[in-house]
Amino acid sequence: MARRSNPAVRIATETAHNAVFDADGKPKPGVHNALLKAVEIQRPLVLAYIRRLQKKHPRATAAQLADILERDYLRAVTGGGAIVGATAVVPGVGTVASLGLSAAATVGFLEATALYATSLAELHGIRLTNPEKASTMVMAIMLGEEGTALLGTLGGQAAGNGMNATRAWGNVLSKSMSVPGFGSVRNRIQKAFLKNLLKRQGTALFGRALPFGIGAVVGGAGNLMMGRAVVGNAKEAFGPMPDTIPGELNAAAPDHLTLEGNNLGSQR
């Protein structure tokens, strides 16, 4: 006997879809910008975060700090998904209203991912002073092999000279000068990232909005699964941790940290 569809489930799914996509199935204006803005992060904030961890764990090695980064990241994204999912059981917060909170949880997930990925890059000695290059790396990490392979094309010449692949594209992204071909690679990574994210988050939006407390379980579990995928991608992309912490992270923080073009942008 065929299972009867639940009208409430169908309505909630359609509402989640319509909150993000138009009638033609394309993301509504502003969706792309909001998602891309969420993966931007300023290097001074990353350094401040790592130094806080070092102050709390003064004897920690690079590998131990990476473990702490991973633990904090997974806790942050899992807790965020569960908290948003739990709002579906609060009187007065219906499914439609909670979908707005689910969208906010998506942005929170991306911001936490950006902090984790760029902090890990710093521990590997990759200095991402340009927010655009930093966000490109974050998107590539989230894409996994496809994204890091695209980054590898930027450092192909250096890699051909015997340099480690990660070190090659890391050096390219660390350069303060313009990088030939970067714009093209960024556009390809950005397009694949948005397509992949919107496909995955379409079900995540609905899952977090499920009522009767189920959303808390689905939201937290879904974020944990995606977070673990990011951690796995990052470890694959960066490889083994260095034996020593990069010298700049051991030095006293400078009074003023500037970015390329002296453009600090918004600081969250």
For residue 217, is pLDDT > 70? no
For residue 260, is pLDDT > 50? no
In a domain, 140, yes or no: yes
pLDDT score for 194: 82
For residue 238, is pLDDT > 80? yes
Q: In this structure, what token pair is assigned to residue 267?
A: 């600081």
In a domain, 82, yes or no: yes
In a domain, 2, yes or no: no
For residue 76, is pLDDT > 80? yes
In a domain, 262, yes or no: no
In a domain, 17, yes or no: no
For residue 38, is pLDDT > 90? no
**Confidence at 122, pLDDT banded by 50, 70, 90:** very high
pLDDT score for 28: 65
In a domain, 48, yes or no: yes
pLDDT score for 61: 92
The predicted-structure confidence for 134-165, as pLDDT tens digits, reads as follows 999 999 998 998 888 888 887 664 444 545 66
For residue 118, is pLDDT > 90? yes
pLDDT score for 195: 81
Report the SS3 class of residue 27: strand
More confident residue, 183 or 220: 183
pLDDT score for 26: 65
Lowest pLDDT segment from 81-95, 114-128, 149-163: 81-95
If you average pLDDT over residues 84-109, what whole number do you get? 60
Enclosing domain of residue 83 = 28-250
Dump the DSSP string for 194-226: HHHHHHHHHHHHHHHT-TTTHHHHHHHHHHHHH
pLDDT score for 235: 92
Q: What's the Cα-to-Cα distance from 82 to each of 20, 30, 58, 89, 251, rounded to whole Å?
A: 21, 26, 32, 12, 38
Q: Any idea what the Cα angle at residue 32 is, between residues 26 and 33, rounded to 5°?
A: 145
In a domain, 191, yes or no: yes
For residue 167, is pLDDT > 80? no
Other beta carbons less than 10 A from residue 175's beta carbon: 15
Share of the chain above pLDDT 70, in %: 57
pLDDT score for 169: 82
More confident residue, 119 or 95: 119
In a domain, 158, yes or no: yes
For residue 6, is pLDDT > 60? no
**Confidence at 189, pLDDT banded by 50, 70, 90:** very high
For the chain, the average pLDDT equals 73
Q: How many domains does the chain have?
A: 1
What span, in angstroms and rounded, lies between the C-alpha atoms of 99 and 88? Answer: 9
pLDDT score for 37: 85
**Confidence at 116, pLDDT banded by 50, 70, 90:** very high
If you average pLDDT over residues 68-77, what whole number do you get? 90
Q: In this structure, what token pair is assigned to residue 181?
A: 């071909």
